[in-house]
Structure 1
Amino acid sequence: MSHETRLVILCLLSEKERSVGDIESILSMPQAAVSQQLARLRFDRLVKTRREGRTVYYSLASEEVTSLIGTLYELFCAPVRGAPDAPR
């Protein structure tokens, strides 16, 4: 997970399953670049696929991956408590 784009993709997939086209639109990246990152995540067994017609949907591979991404989000992405604009 050393590549920032792969981490962002994992965060997106923690919300819900998404197609390559969905991820491409959200990240404003070429389809080939998104597919390359997803292939690496599949190789690392962090994501799984589901085909519906011609569309391939990606989701997190397991509850362990979901838990890991949730923990990373809480540590590095969630608003810092006590910050001036943090929710109370």
Structure 2
Amino acid sequence: MPEKLDLDKLRGAASQACGLLKTLANPDRLLLLCQLSQGEYCVSELEELLGIRQPTLSQQLGVLRDEELVITRRDGKQIYYALGSDDARAVIQVLYQRYCAKTKGKRA
């Protein structure tokens, strides 16, 4: 006989997953998290690597901070960002393998 599911816990887990997916459902945030899955970067490096302009970059990094998907470290005047969520890292790894790795070495 199958184990009975705890629907309250399942609904809570589904709600958490939806929150993560909602945050990821923005191209700039997804690009940021994909880049941060490769290591720690300061804002100017992210701007140069991803071509996201400063106002948008700051706004999207703020969302990722608020959602606790990234962590920060200050070194002098520079703020460095890194991926700070194991759940986000797991999802990003799958997305990176499925989508980003296919684009390496290809030109548009």
Shorter-chain TM band: 0.7 to 0.9
Greater Rg by CA: 2
Runs of 4+ in 1 over 3 A off after TM superposition: none
- TM-score scaled by length of structure 2: 0.67
Percent sequence identity over aligned pairs: 41
Cα deviation, residue 72, structure 1? 1.6
2:93 aligned with 1:70, yes or no? yes
Q: For structure 2, which runs of at least 5 residues remain unmatched after alignment?
A: 1-23, 103-108
**More displaced 10-residue stretch of structure 1: 21-30 or 50-59:** 21-30
SS in 2 for 1:26: helix
Q: Which among 70, 74, 78 is matched to residue 51 of structure 1?
A: 74
Q: 1:8 aligns to what?
A: 31
RMSD (CA atoms)? 2.2
Aligned counterparts of 2:52 and 2:64: Cα–Cα separation in 1: 17
Q: For structure 1, which runs of at least 5 residues remain unmatched after alignment?
A: 80-88
Would you tell me which structure has more helix in proportion to its own residues?
A: 2
Aligned counterparts of 1:31 and 1:78: Cα–Cα separation in 2: 26
Contact 2:28–2:52, Cα closer than 8 Å, also in 1: no
Cα deviation, residue 78, structure 1? 3.2
- TM-score scaled by length of structure 1: 0.80
